[in-house]
Each structure stands twice: as C-alpha cells, then as structure tokens.
Amino acid sequence: MADTDTQQVDRPEGAIPDANVTVDRPGYPDEVALEGDDNIESELMTLNMGPQHPSTHGVLRLELKTDGEIIEHVRPHIGYLHRCFEKHAESLSYPQVIPFTDRMDYLAAMNNNLAYCLAVERLLEIEIPERVEYVRVIICELNRLASHLVSFGTYGMDIGAFTPFLFAFREREDIFDLFEMTCGARMLYNYIWVGGVSHDFPPGFVEKCTAFLDKFEGKINDYNNLLSYNKIFIERTANIGVLPVDKAYSYNLTGPNLRGSGVKWDLRRDDPYSIYDRFEFDIPVGSGEMGQLGDCWDRYMVRIREMGESVRIIRQALEQMPDGDVHKAVPRNVRPPKDAECYTRSETPRGEMGIYVISDGSNVPYRVKVKSPCFTAISAMNFLTRGHYVADIIAVIGSIDIVLGEVDR
Amino acid sequence: MGRYFSNIVQSISTIWTGMNITLKHLFTPSITLQYPEERWEMPERARNQLFNDIDDCIGCDQCARACPVDCIYIETEKVGEDIDLGLTSKGTKKRLKVLRFDIDMSLCCYCGLCTYPCPTECLIMTPHYEASVYDRTDLLYKYAKPWEYDDLESADASKDTDKEAATAG
Ligand code: SF4
Ligand code: SF4
C-alpha cells in the first residue's frame, strides 16, 4: 500500500518567502473617491458575468459590483454543474463510483480516479503491485500534461491569442490517442481501479509515449516564445491578481496557485503518495519575474514549467517500469471493514484533492466527501480581482485554472 | 517616454518571434482529416457503442448489476430441465430464456463496467462511434430475440402443455 499518510508534514524551511508584498492596484480605493462635488450621486453598478460566458471555463456566474470600470466586489455563484456526486456515491458500490469521479474534474479524470482509489485502497489495506504503481504514475502525469495544456491554451485564448489554443489542443490530442489505445476512452476513462488498473499498456505504448515526449519537449519552448514572453501577454497578466503568500495560505489555495506565490509545496514531494518519492523532479515556483510575486503570469508560468517536470517523471517511470500483472490485486468484492474511515490527499493538476471515505462494512460507501482544489481557489476571486479593471477578471479566472465540474461536483 | 518606445519595440520583437513559429507551420503537413470522407483508425480497445451478441448471452444479469446508471434492462424466464436452449460458443449451457435485453444508450455513460463481469464475454464495447439518431427512442437498443423461443416452444409442446400455456399467457 502506498504511503498516503495524512499527518501534517511541516513545510520545509525557507519554503515560505517574505510575505510582505504590497498589492498595487490601479485606482482603488483612493483615486476613485469622488472629488468634492457632493451633488453627484454615485452608486455601484451590478453586472452579471456568465453563466454562459466563453471565458468562465464552464458555467460560472460572477456577480460584479463595479464602479465605472473598476471592480469593487465579485461574488461567484456556483452550483450550475452540481450533480450530487457525494450523495450519489452513497448509493453505488465502490467500483461504480469511479466513473463518477471522472466527471468531477473532466480535464484530469485520471488524477481524480487515483485520488478516490487511494482512499479506498487505504481502507482495504491492500498491497498494490509495482507495475500498477508505475502505470498509474505515467498515466496521471500524462493527464497532468493534458490538463495544463488546456489551461495554457484557453488562457491564451481568453487573453486574445488564438494560435496557442490550437497548438495546445494538437498536443493534447496525441495524449488522448495514448489514452485511447490504453483504455479505450478519450476523456472519461474509468481506468484506475481499486487495486489496479483496467488494462495494461498495449504493445507499442512505451515507444509511442517516448516518441511523444521527445516531440513535446521541444514544443514547450515554442509555447514560451509564442505566448509566455509575448509583450502583450505580459502586459495583460503581470501585476494582475497578485496573491501574497499569507493570503494564499488563508484562502487555502493549493497546487500551481500556491506555487505561483512562491511556496515550494507539492504533495508529490512533501507527502508522497503512490511512488512519487522515487523520481527526481523539481517544483517550479513563481518568482515575480515579470511583475510581482504571485501575479497571474507567475501562476501561468508555474504550469508551463510543470509540464517539463512531468515529462521528466514520465521518462523515469517508463525506464524503471517492471513487468507484472495489473489485475493481481483487484479485489473481487470491495468491502472495507466496518466503521473504517480515511482521508487521503493527492496532487491533481489543480491542487490538493482530498477524499474522505467512511465505510459501514457494506459494499456501498457510507459517505464520500471531496475536498476540491478549485472550490477553494474560486473563493479567492474577490480578493484577486478587487480594484482591477473589468477586463482583468478574465485574466484572473484563467490564471487560477478552475474547472467548474469540480467546483460544483 | 523611453518606456513607451521600449514597449513598442518589445511588442514588435516578441510578436515577430511568435509569428516565426506560426510561419513554420505553413510548411508542416496538416494533422486534420476531412472527417466524413476520411476517418481515423480506432484502436482495438476503443470504448464506444455497446454490442451484445445475444446468441451467447445466458441472461445472468451480472452486467445490469454492474451498471452504475442502471440502463440495461433484462427479463428472463426459467425453462424446465427437459428443454435444451443450446450452448454458447464457449460451451456454457444456457438455462434462461432472455426475453428482453435492452440497453438505453442515451443513459449509458460509456464506463465499460458492464463488459468486465460478463461470463461469456458476449457484451462488448465496439469501436463504432457514429451512433447519432434523429429520435431519442431509437437509442434504446433491443438485442433479445424472444420470437426464437416460439419454435422451441412448439417443438416441446407435445411434451409439456402446461408450460406453453404459461408462456403464452
Ligand atoms: S457502459 Fe457503463 S453505463 Fe453503459 S451500460 Fe455499461 S455499465 Fe452501464
Ligand atoms: S453478463 Fe453477459 S451473459 Fe450475463 S446477462 Fe449480461 S450480457 Fe448476458
């Protein structure tokens, strides 16, 4: 059984940079104050953005209170994609829940599968075969690539660059081809099972995957030249939506959003689950290169750099992968002991996903609770956008990379 | 003022870098296909349209129980010891008449869970993906062939009249 110990791990020394970042916001609140003329009645305008809006990455409705062009308050209204995942899970047997976890964060379904399976495996206390662990790591990191590609592509499109979107989706297509030849599905896989995976890699997978990685590594440079270092893009994202470290902690942001603020915190390294402790990889963090630490550009760049790290992990895993049977440890009947409960967390492309499962001894979970990284990220929306221009909301939403399917579940 | 001009220079130079990348793609072969005329090869494991080979189905109901959205509807009927329904292609003896085997593909979430427990491997997901229909009711795929049992019934009628009466009713 993988080590998914839930005890608190101390954040390493020096991981937390100086938190005294002053947030520079255009024109709020001092300059906005009306000058002198008491006769002018001024009131805030309420503006609805969404739910049908191309840049809200799903169905998110934002209620904006604006003072002219300046945002005074943002309130996200969620729930448009609510599908009762947690309640639904209480009426399905443990393996039957897995297809529903796919549909939470549909851009990184493999990582969701893994998060749930880790929890159930911990309840059952089963030993996972070596090969399965490697297969899972490879598949999850590939999915992380696919997810970050979408985030990168759509972010470019939100800001007004269409080409990166097409480039990103072209590479994502190759990843989906790998998934399709492995498990038959392109987006919603039901691939990682409790105790194993549904199919072993087909013959030719390793070669095809290596060929893809070779091709992809060069592409990251292209993305940087095309979008990351483009002056217009930098102007739109640098110094926008600055998130100081202390705020990032108090909003409980995780994943690339937290790392964008300069915190070296990644569960794959700091609380390793599965076999992530066997691989060498760096954790990219934001450094305020283009503006202030923790701005949109930093969060964006963390994702781009993480893609390179994922490629490194996949290469190592492909090299070390042993042979074996992927179905050996799949239990015939998933029946955790009575009153067992556990909380496991894992690093999905959007941050820390925690799954809490309580068993009542039957083959149906008594309770499944999901701690969703996007849900906490969206709570910072008001802080991030306050005092910016309306147009900057788009840049902020894209940079925290939310998937509404996971916010609402 | 200096900043103003340096911004312009940087914008032009970074856009030029980007445009060079775009320009290179003018000379790379296209990766898209003209869909209805050309099609991708689907991998062998592709999980699309469900298909049930009803001649091999023993009506054990395991697939319907595995389905998380309950979109497989099976009705079976026991037959007496003396009636032989034949064997499946893998040699399992059929003991149940499958009177109804419907899959509602409009509810199916293509998870594939139903295909794994099938003892005779007759329920499979095929690579066939063009399953659009004009009417939603057409997505209810009916696989059972209850009429095939009629012949069987008449052949055995002389032996067991009670049973036939029961089935007819
Ligand atoms: S693929 Fe899944 S949803 Fe569809 S019939 Fe089979 S078990 Fe049910
Ligand atoms: S599991 Fe297979 S044999 Fe059993 S009812 Fe379903 S399709 Fe028929």
Confidence (pLDDT) at A23: 53
Residue nearest to atom 8 of ligand 1 (CA): B67
Give the count of alpha carbons within 13 A of A401, CB side only: 36
pLDDT value at B111 more than 70: yes
Distance (Å) from the C-alpha of residue B144 to the closest C-alpha of chain A? 26
Q: Which residue has the tokens 């929890």?
A: A119
Q: What gap in Å lies between CA A270 and CA A266, rounded to an integer?
A: 6
DSSP H or E segment with residue A245: helix A245-250
Say if residues A121 and A195 touch (Cβ distance below 8 Å): yes
**What would you report as the CA-atom Rg of chain A, rounded to the nearest whole angstrom?**
22
Tell me whether residues A184 and B112 touch, CB distance under 8 A.
Answer: yes
Strand-pairing partners, residue A371, are A354
How big is chain B by its Cα radius of gyration, in Å? Answer: 28
A145-174, pLDDT tens digit by residue? Answer: 999 999 888 888 888 888 888 888 888 988
Q: What is the 3-state secondary structure of chain B?
A: CHHHHHHHHHHHHHHHHHHHHHHHHHHCCCCCCCCCCCCCCCCCCCCCCEEECHHHCCCCCHHHHHCCCCCEEEEEEECCCCCCCCECCCCCECCEEEEEEEEECCCCCCCCCCCCCCCCCCEEECCCCCCCCCCHHHHEEECCCCCHHHHHHHHHCCCCHHHHHHHHC
Residues pairing with A77 in the sheet: A61
Average pLDDT, chain A: 83
CATH of domain A85-407: 1.10.645.10
Q: Backbone phi, then psi, for A2, in 5-degree steps?
A: -65, 155
Taking an 8 Å cut-off on Cβ atoms, the answer to whether B22 and A226 are in contact is yes
Please give the pLDDT value at position B40.
83
Residues A103/A317, Cβ–Cβ less than 8 Å: no
Q: Cα separation of B120 and B57, whole Å?
A: 7
**Structure confidence at residue A187 as a pLDDT band (50, 70, 90):** confident
Q: Tens of pLDDT along A11-62?
A: 444 444 444 445 555 544 544 444 555 566 677 888 888 788 777 777 888 8
**Dmax (CA) of chain A:** 80
Cα A398–Cα A399–Cα A405 angle in degrees, nearest 5: 55
Q: Report the chain A residue with the minimal C-alpha distance to residue B9.
A: A231
- Per-residue pLDDT reduced to its tens digit, B133-153: 898 888 888 887 777 777 665
Q: What is the DSSP string of A15-68?
A: -S---------TT-STTTS--S-TT----PEEEEE-SS-TTSSSS-EEEEEEET
Name the pLDDT band for A106 (thresholds 50, 70, 90). confident
In a domain, B41, yes or no: no
Amino acid identity of A5?
Answer: D
Average pLDDT over residues A348-374: 89
Is residue B107 domain-resident? Answer: yes
> Is B98 touching ligand 2 by the criterion CB < 6 Å?
no
Q: How many CA atoms lie within 13 A of A366 on its CB side?
A: 14
The pLDDT of residue A9? 41
pLDDT greater than 70 at residue A7? no
Is B37 a member of any domain? no
| Chain A closest-CA separation from residue B146 CA (Å) | 31
- Residue A283 has a pLDDT of 87
CA distance A363 to A340: 13
Predicted pLDDT at A105: 86
Does residue A96 sit in helix, strand or coil?
helix
> Candidates B52, B63, B124: which one to mutate for ligand 2, based on the most atoms within 8 Å of Cβ?
B63
What's the total number of domains in chain B?
Answer: 1
pLDDT of res. B154: 55
Q: Which residues pair with B114 in a beta bridge?
A: none
Residue A2 has pLDDT above 80, yes or no: no
Say if B122 falls within a structural domain: yes
Dihedral, CA atoms, A93, A99, A105, A107, nearest 10 degrees?
Answer: 160
Would you state the pLDDT for residue A337? 83
Q: Are B100 and B147 in contact (CB under 8 A)?
A: no
Is B66 domain-assigned?
yes
Confidence of residue A104 (pLDDT cuts 50, 70, 90): confident
Report the gap between the CA of B42 and the closest CA in chain A (Å). 8
Q: Return d(Cα A237, Cα A400) in angstroms, integer.
A: 12
CATH of the domain at B148: 3.30.70.3270
Stated as kind and residue range, the H or E segment containing A243 is none
The 10 Å CB-count burial string (b at 16+, else e) for B7-39 is: eeebeeebeeebeebeeeeeeeeeeeeeeeeee
Contact assessment for residue A395 and residue A81, using Cβ atoms and an 8 Å cutoff: no
The CA distances from residue A202 to A18, A117, A310, B126, in Å, are: 49, 22, 22, 17
pLDDT in tens, A308-350: 889 989 988 888 888 888 888 788 888 888 888 889 988 899 8
Distances (CA, A) of A254 to A152, A372, A400, A402: 18, 10, 10, 12
The pLDDT of residue A284 is above 60:
yes
Q: Is the ipTM of this complex over 0.90?
A: no
Cα of first residue to Cα of last residue in chain A, in angstroms, is: 28
pLDDT of residue A11: 46
Residue B69 pLDDT more than 70? yes
Supply the pLDDT for residue B60.
84
The residue-averaged pLDDT of B3-22 equals 85
pLDDT on residue A252: 86
Which ligand is in closest contact with the Cα of B63?
A: 2
CA of B96 to the centre of ligand 2 (A): 11
Residue A134 DSSP SS3 = helix
Lowest mean pLDDT among A188-202, A302-316, B42-56, B75-89: B75-89
Residues A110-140 have pLDDT tens digits of 999 999 998 988 888 888 888 888 988 999 9
Ligand 1 pocket: which of B111, B116, B143 to mutate (most atoms <8 Å of CB)? B111
Residue B124 in domain? yes
Which SS3 state, helix, strand or coil, does residue A352 take?
strand
* Least reliable range by pLDDT among A39-43, A126-130, A398-402, B16-20: A39-43
Token pair recorded at residue A62: 């934002």
Residues with CB under 6 A from ligand 1: B 50, 66-67, 69, 71-72, 103, 108-114
Q: Domain span at residue B90?
A: 50-156
A213 in Cβ contact with A310 (< 8 Å): no
Q: What does the pLDDT read at residue A39?
A: 60
Q: What is the pLDDT of residues A254-283, one digit of tens each?
A: 888 888 888 888 888 888 888 888 888 888
Is the pLDDT at A8 greater than 50? The verdict is: no
| Closest residue by Cα to residue A168 from A144, A152, A157 | A152
